[in-house]
Amino acid sequence: MKQMCIKYFVFLSFFTSAVISANTDIPEREQNNGKVGEARLPLQELRIFTQVFEQVRRGYVDEVTDIQLLESAVAGLLLELDPHSAYLDLEAHKKLQESASGQYGGLGIEISAKRGMLEVIAPIDDSPAQKAGILTGDLIHEINGEPVRSFALPEAIDKLRGPKGSPIDLTILREGKDKPISLNITRDIIYSSAVRSRLLTNDIGYIRISQFQENSDKDFIAALKKLNEFDNPNDVLKGLIIDLRNNPGGLIPPAVEIADVFLDDGLIVYTEGRTPSANQTFLATPGKLLGSVPIVILINGGTASAAEIFAGALQDHTRAAILGTQSFGKGSVQTVIPFGDGRAIKLTTARYFTPLGRSIQAEGIIPDINIPRAETTLLESARLPRERDLDGHLKGPDGHYSSQQSEAKGVTNDNQLKEAIHILKGFTLLRQG
CATH 2.30.42.10 in the chain is located at 103-191
Residue 409 is predicted with a pLDDT of 65
Catalytic pick among 197, 305, 327, 332 = 305
**Whether 316 is catalytic:** yes
> What is the per-residue pLDDT across 344-354, written as a single tens digit (0 to 9) for each?
999 999 999 99
Residue 401 is predicted with a pLDDT of 59
Residue 235 is predicted with a pLDDT of 80
CATH 3.90.226.10 in the chain is located at 195-370
Q: How confident is residue 36, by pLDDT bands cut at 50, 70 and 90? A: low
| Burial (CB count within 10 angstroms: exposed 0-12, middle 13-18, buried 19+), residue 314 | buried
Q: How confident is residue 305, by pLDDT bands cut at 50, 70 and 90? A: very high
Q: How confident is residue 405, by pLDDT bands cut at 50, 70 and 90? A: low
Whole-number Å distance between alpha carbons of 403 and 399: 13
Residue 26 is predicted with a pLDDT of 39
Do residues 402 and 192 lie in contact, with contact meaning Cβ atoms separated by under 8 Å? Answer: no
| Per-residue pLDDT at 381 exceeds 70 | no
**Whether 192 is catalytic:** no
Catalytic pick among 219, 260, 330, 346 = 330
Residue 413 is predicted with a pLDDT of 85
pTM score of the predicted model = 0.81
**Whether 260 is catalytic:** no
> What is the per-residue pLDDT across 271-285, written as a single tens digit (0 to 9) for each?
999 999 999 999 999
From residue 209, give the alpha-carbon distance in Å to each of 118, 206, 260, 399: 25, 10, 16, 47
Q: What is the dotted CATH code of the domain comprising 103-191? A: 2.30.42.10
> What is the per-residue pLDDT across 115-143, written as a single tens digit (0 to 9) for each?
778 999 889 888 999 999 999 999 999 99
Catalytic pick among 158, 316, 368, 414 = 316
Please state the CATH superfamily assignment of the domain spanning residues 195-370 in this structure. 2-enoyl-CoA Hydratase; Chain A, domain 1 (3.90.226.10)
